Chain A
Amino acid sequence: MTTRIRSFVVLVTAALLQATIFTEFRFLGASVEVLLLVTILAGYHGGPEHGSIFGFFASLLQDVLTGAPFGLHAMVYAPLAVGVSSLEDRLVESRPVIYGLGLGLAISIGTALAGFTGLLFGQTAITSSLLINRSILAGITSALVAAPINKIILWSLSLSTPGALELRIPGK
């Protein structure tokens, strides 16, 4: 199976998880942002180009699921994947807790930016308190489920970047 097919499988699975389990099981109203999570992990492990393309398609699926106009989430997901990819060199020697915090922060920022972009494009029901509250909770909940999803992303990339992955995961 090629990397593209594996990435497609990951995207479809993430979209189904987002639409089912993670929509139904919410924590204080906030749900895990699976599609944003896979975008960030794809950018981190796969590099800026792979991350941005992966993030673009993930964002289109997010638009479909949330009923947002096509392209709204892409304005955030693709640049965020590129931004996160530049961090991988700096975090090589970091501890897992730092990764978790970084991931949670990235997801919170991504969720907040997506909400803010929605606000710019007429999604008037988003208040500032809702934006902050949900972004923080989404970051925390998404970071908690990141470990198994991280392995799936590594599997999807394992054909395209042999060996390089070892440099990006310290302690393994």
Chain B
Amino acid sequence: MAAPGPAERSRPTLLILLAAALTLLTLQVRGAQPLDAFQQGIRDIIGPVRTIVDKSTDPIQSVWSGIVNYSELQEENERLAKELAEVRGEVLSEEADRELLERLLGEIDVPYADLETVVARLLGTPPGNFGSHLVEIDKGSDDGLSEGMAVITGAGLVGRLEQVDRERSVVILATHPDFSVGVRLVESQDEGLAKGTGGYEIRLEDGVRLDAFIEEGEVVITSGGRSRFPGDIPVGKVTDPDNFAEYERIIKIELAASLENLSFVNVVTDSGSGS
């Protein structure tokens, strides 16, 4: 009888490895803490090396980015110039909106700007090829951050902390399909759950009455309460109120914060529940 070839000998090994992989996968999907801790431990070991390499290659990265993304930078430049011209023409209406927002925030006595935050620098996208709508920041549990904390900029909500290691964290952006946040419409006072779409906007699909009249441009803020985010953080403006929906209402919201050109963000360390 002939001895089995290499491919035949490897079959049991492959089956054992696949079974092990499936077991690990099942355990982690069900929330096995030791596996999470093990993964985080390895990332913490690699973390300092990443930081050193990141800092030492900063100038080269800038050159590389200039070469590879030249056309994108040119397009961005043109887009920003166009936007600036539009913004100049809309200053008055923007100011009116801001006044309305400030007045409403003042009424409920929880100033958005007074939240306790940690400033973090954006490092880029996390390793891997499919980390879309995710960004890495240079602060972690050593700086008092923990999973689920809200991430904001001066303009409004950016996302939440998804994975927190000792020296760095991953932020899931508000546009990510897994992102959801409780929001309130400032004028109509309707509340609902807004979700990321994987595109540039977020959608408010649950909670808002079908007969509630909502104006285009209405300001949307976080609702707080049972939500994991503090209340009254600006989220964005309604771009499509879907006022004539018959069965299911989908309100489109344009985010106030620009997620494309982030450099620094603020992580809200105080949930505001105590205030």
Contact = CB atoms under 8 A, between A and B. Distances in A.
Interface of A: 15-16, 18-31, 33, 47-49, 52-53, 56, 59, 61-72, 74-75, 78-79, 82, 85-86, 111, 115, 118, 121-127, 130-131, 134-135, 137-138
B127 A74 contact: no
A71 B24 contact: yes
Given A19-B127, A66-B126, A70-B24, 12 more contacts: A52-B13, A53-B17, A63-B39, A69-B24, A69-B29, A74-B18, A74-B20, A123-B130, A124-B177, A124-B198, A125-B134, A131-B130
A70 B54 contact: no
Contacts, number: 157
If over half of A's interface residues share one DSSP class (helix, strand or loop), that class is named, otherwise mixed; here it is helix
Contacts of A70: 24-25, 27-28, 35, 39
B14 interface: yes
14 contacts: A52-B13, A66-B126, A67-B170, A70-B39, A71-B28, A72-B21, A74-B21, A75-B18, A78-B18, A79-B14, A82-B10, A124-B177, A130-B130, A131-B130
A19 B26 CA distance: 25
Interface stretch (B42-50, B111-119, B227-235): B42-50
B6 A69 contact: no
Contacts of A61: 42
B14 A24 contact: no
Contacts of B131: 66
A29 B170 CA distance: 17
Q: How large is the interface on B (under 10, 10 to 19, 20 to 34, 35 or more residues)?
A: 35 or more
B128 A65 contact: yes
A111 B128 CA distance: 10
Nearest to B25: A71
Interface string B32-63: 00010001001100100110011001000100
Contacts of A47: 6, 10
B140 to A, nearest CB: 13
A24 B18 contact: no
A118 B130 contact: yes
A20 B17 contact: no
B124 to A, nearest CB: 7
B124 A23 contact: yes
Given A23-B126, A74-B18, A49 B50 contact: no
A19 B170 CA distance: 14
B9 interface: yes
A124 B178 contact: yes
B49 A16 contact: yes
Contact of B129 (A16, A53, A69, A138): A138
A23 B127 contact: yes
A20 B54 CA distance: 7
B23 interface: yes
Given A47-B10, A85-B6, A115-B129, A64 B18 contact: no
A55 B170 CA distance: 26
Nearest to B29: A69
A64 B43 contact: yes
A31 B128 contact: yes
B7 A20 contact: no
A126 B132 contact: yes
Given A16-B46, A74-B20, A121-B25, A66 B6 contact: no
Contacts of B26: 71
Nearest to A70: B24
B249 interface: no
B163 interface: yes
